Chain A
Amino acid sequence: QVHLVESGGGVVQPGGSLRLSCAASGFTFSSYGFHWVRQAPGKGLDWVALVSNDGSQKFYGDSVKGRFTISRDNSKNTLFLQMDSLTSEDTAVYYCAKVSWPSKSARSFLDYWGQGTLVTVSS
């Protein structure tokens, strides 16, 4: 069965950095693209970034472009999100989510989500 486990969240000061990880199991990791989606406390879902199955294509939401970097290590079945220049607006639960169709990151919905990891940006 598909299992996604995020880690790396915590409290960080404004301007600081944090690296999130998402460990995957139960399927062929290298065949699927992955998204990061976040949710600020009491707010809706906010799409953050997508990486294709082979890591060659990366897309970012406007609010994180230039500050966040999505990457993956297919040898370790792990997805990453490097977050730099953090502000209070980045405070949220961050979810990793798998795309539904192999080798087809665009035009694929999100079929499995991790439990999320909380990032709090505060002085």
Chain B
Amino acid sequence: DIQMTQSPPSLSASVGDRVTITCRASQGISNDLAWYQQRPGKVPTVLIYGASTLQSGVPSRFSGSGSGTDFTLTISSLQPEDVATYYCQKYDSAPWTFGQGTKVEIK
């Protein structure tokens, strides 16, 4: 099975900072990758799919890039409401594995 490895496990940044989270697949998955945000105590919601397509209603400060095995989620200017755990997920085929998550906090 393909493994999904996220880094870092957690980060702390200041409001307005640029934040980057990476996700690496152990084998190529084309661009069949989604990013989800889970705010504390809330249900996950999709931010990005197809590695780089912003889901409707998601603020433009979020962006995604990558293809094959290496992917990146970027928050261009961190806001207080972005405090959350972020997960990548492969959806090319079974199993639909999630990364371990990256917890983002405000410094």
Contact = CB atoms under 8 A, between A and B. Distances in A.
B65 to A, nearest CB: 16
Contacts, number: 61
A110 B44 CA distance: 10
Interface in B46-87: 46, 49, 55, 85, 87
B92 interface: yes
Residue of B46, B89, B91, B93 contacting most chain A CB atoms (<10 Å):
B91
B8 interface: no
Question: Nearest 8 CB-CB pairs, A to B?
Answer: A109-B34, A59-B94, A44-B101, A45-B98, A109-B49, A47-B96, A113-B43, A109-B91
Contact of B92 (A62, A95, A107, A114): A107
Interface residues of B, dominant DSSP: loop
Contacts of A37: 44, 98
Interface residues on B, range: 20 to 34
Interface in A33-58: 35, 37, 44-47, 50
B7 interface: no
A50 B96 contact: yes
Interface of B: 1, 32, 34, 36, 38, 43-46, 49, 55, 85, 87, 89, 91-101
A2 interface: no
